[in-house]
A and B are shown apart, each in its own frame.
Chain A
Amino acid sequence: MALISCKGVSLRYENRLAVEDASFEIEAGDYVCIVGENGSGKSTLLKGLLGLKSPDAGSISYGDGLEQRMIGYLPQQTVVQKDFPASVYEVVLSGCLNRRGMRPFYSPAERQIAGRNIERLSIGGLRKKSYRDLSGGQQQRVLLARALCATEKLLLLDEPVTGLDPVVTAELYALIRQLNREGVTVVMVSHDIVCAVHNAGKILHMGTGVLFYGRAEDYPDSEVGRRFLGGDHHA
């Protein structure tokens, strides 16, 4: 049973179709990179997988004991967050929200999970610092730690490296690959197509519908891959 299976999924905003008839399966342990032009429905598809938008046609089903609220999510940053007065620890701990149900306060076990993920992403030194005083790369690490608090199984990342310098970007990619090796399934939206081909196991190319879905090795030789990668991949 696949972790996520989409069958003929369509998602629309009012009268505009953003995702049309998408069918694919994501297996446990996969590292899937979603690529495509601006406005091709990548973020919308993620929202569908997260249950933030319900499909207008088709179905999204979870397997392998995955529950919808047990998905870790790294959204594109909003303006509000940039100057938000919250300590790193508070932000990471808020990732445990889905474990709590109706209980009003966090348990020691959940505080431990938060602490563990802070160590895992080596942001222990920032624990008491304010989120707004961090650099963009540090903020992404904090949000990644928060996403890890919500899940052990599946991470959805929407353009996690936007605005980061090449060194930090490489670090973040290494980190995500490391998490994937530790058994976390990763689904990531990225515009960095060359890097995606190198890092990811599978590529999902969106263009409202699914234009390509398969192993990353096969992508450069596919027709859409050749077109999208352009002239720099003739090797």
Chain B
Amino acid sequence: MLELVSQMFSYGFLNRALLVGTLVALCAALLGVSLVLKRYSMIGDGLSHVGFGALSVAMAMQLAPLAVAAPVVVLAAFLLLRISENSRIKGDAAIALIASSSLAIGVIVTSLTSGMNTDVYGYLFGSILAMGAGDVAASVVLSAAVLVLFVLFYNKIFAITFDEAFAQATGVNARGYNLLIALLTAVTIVVGMRIMGAMLISSLIIFPALTAMRVCRSFKGVVITSALVSVVCFFCGMVASFAFSTPAGASIVVANLSAFLLFALVGALRGKLPG
């Protein structure tokens, strides 16, 4: 096991993937707590599909993938947030529409130009080879920003997540913070999508929060646990992917699923036991 891990660290591209992935996993988990509790998890899913569409179009037009995808996904985040704010049920349907439309456009554009090659497969299901030095720099800056903002605004994020009307009544700019969270989510998705793939990145946002909520009783507990769970699952998924030559993104999702089942079991057992 140890040998395996040290072997992993000897590959430069794997090091980069591990670093970027760990940071993305951390950010996704923190943002995920707020998104899941606000019933906004669909936004993460919608954004990743939009990201895929943007990446495919960028590739077809031979533009830099990140430079195109980032602004498009950020714009989509604002749009989706607006839709969800106005009415929840209709918002759900609208997000599904936008998501599948972007996916369809992406697929058509690629089939008309390059065809379904390994690059497209990488966008859909992730590739640890995708990380260049630029991605590393971008993800370090991004994660630092997410972490600092999250810690500084932790109490406000709690208040807004728990009860937006009350937070607003006490002078918090709830809309502003919602936009901030949507923005950070968009950037996290764009960076994380390269490793996890457009189809799987949203699980990185949703799973850790849900897992932590099985056992934790306080908000702080949920936040810390989901961050830990996310990073640990990411690492286990990467090791498993290396050991069994399975795709990285899918292995990480399965690691998250295992953690979720384990925590659900613990939660259920604890509910049964007195005290």
Q: Can you name 16 A-B pairs with beta carbons within 8 Å?
A: A52-B165, A73-B165, A75-B165, A78-B163, A80-B162, A81-B162, A84-B162, A85-B217, A85-B219, A85-B222, A87-B217, A87-B219, A94-B158, A94-B162, A95-B166, A95-B170
B-contact 0/1 string along A102-132, CB 8 Å cutoff: 0011100000000000000000000011100
Interface presence of B10 (CB below 8 A): no
Q: Is B96 an interface residue (CB 8 A)?
A: no
Cβ contact within 8 Å between A50 and B153: no
**B221 at interface (Cβ–Cβ under 8 A)?**
yes
Check: A186 CB closer than 8 A to any chain B CB.
no
| Complex Cα–Cα for A25 and B156 (A) | 33
B-chain residues with CB within 8 Å of residue A50 when the two chains form the complex: 169
Contacts of B219 in A (CB 8 A): 84-87, 90
* Given A97-B156, A106-B155, residue A51 in contact with residue B218 (CB < 8 A): no
Asked whether B168 is an interface residue with its Cβ less than 8 Å from the other chain, the reply is: yes
Looking at the assembled complex, report how far the CB atom of A173 sits from the nearest CB atom of chain B, in whole angstroms: 22
Show the binding face of A for B, using Cβ within 8 Å.
50-52, 68-69, 71, 73, 75, 78, 80-81, 84-87, 90-91, 94-95, 97-98, 100, 104-106, 128-130, 133, 146-147, 150
Q: By the criterion CB–CB under 8 Å, are A97 and B37 in contact? A: no
Q: Restricting to B19-45, which residues have a CB under 8 Å from any CB of A?
A: 37-39
Q: How many residues of chain B are within 8 Å of chain A by beta carbon? A: 29
A98: contacting residue among B171, B216, B218, CB under 8 A: B171
Q: A84-B37, A85-B213, A85-B221 are in contact. Are A97 and B155 (CB under 8 A)?
A: yes
Partner of A73, one of B155, B169, B220: B169
> Whole-angstrom distance from the CB of B196 to the nearest CB of chain A?
26
Interchain Cβ contacts within 8 Å, total number: 84
In the complex, chain B residues whose CB is within 8 Å of the CB of A73: 165-166, 169-170
State in angstroms the CA–CA spacing of A84 and B155 once bound together.
15
CB distance from B154 to the nearest CB of A (A): 7
Interfacial chain A residues near B172, Cβ < 8 Å? 97
Q: Is the CB of B163 within 8 A of A104?
A: no
Give the Cβ gap from A49 to chain B, nearest Cβ, in Å.
10
- Please state if B37 and A94 are interface contacts (CB–CB under 8 Å): no
CB of B232 within 8 Å of the partner chain:
no
Q: Kindly name the residue among A81, A90, A133 whose own CB sees the greatest number of chain B CB atoms within 10 A.
A: A90
CB-based contact A52/B162 at 8 Å: no
Are A97 and B218 in contact (CB-based, < 8 A)? Answer: no
A104 near B222: Cβ-Cβ < 8 Å: no
C-alpha gap A82/B167 in the complex (Å)? 17
B169 A51 Cβ-Cβ under 8 A: yes
> How many angstroms between the C-alpha atoms of A50 and B171 in the bound complex?
10
Assess whether A150 is in contact with B217, with CB atoms less than 8 Å apart: no
Extra pairs beyond A50-B169, A52-B165 (19, CB < 8 Å)? A52-B168, A73-B165, A73-B166, A80-B38, A85-B217, A85-B218, A85-B219, A87-B217, A90-B158, A90-B220, A94-B155, A94-B159, A94-B162, A95-B166, A97-B171, A100-B155, A104-B155, A128-B218, A146-B166
Which chain B residue has the least Cβ–Cβ distance from A146? B166
Residue on B with the closest CB to A104? Answer: B152
* Distance between B184 CB and nearest chain A CB, rounded to angstroms: 17
Q: Is the CB of B158 within 8 A of A86?
A: yes
- A69 cross-chain contacts in B, Cβ below 8 A: 169-171
- Chain B residues whose CB sits within 8 angstroms of the CB of A130 once the complex forms: 217-218
Closest CB-CB distance, A185 to chain B, in whole Å? 16
C-alpha spacing A97/B166, complex, angstroms? 10
Q: Which of A52, A81, A87, A100 contacts B163 (CB 8 A)?
A: A81
Q: Contacts of A80 on B, CB cut-off 8 Å? A: 37-39, 162
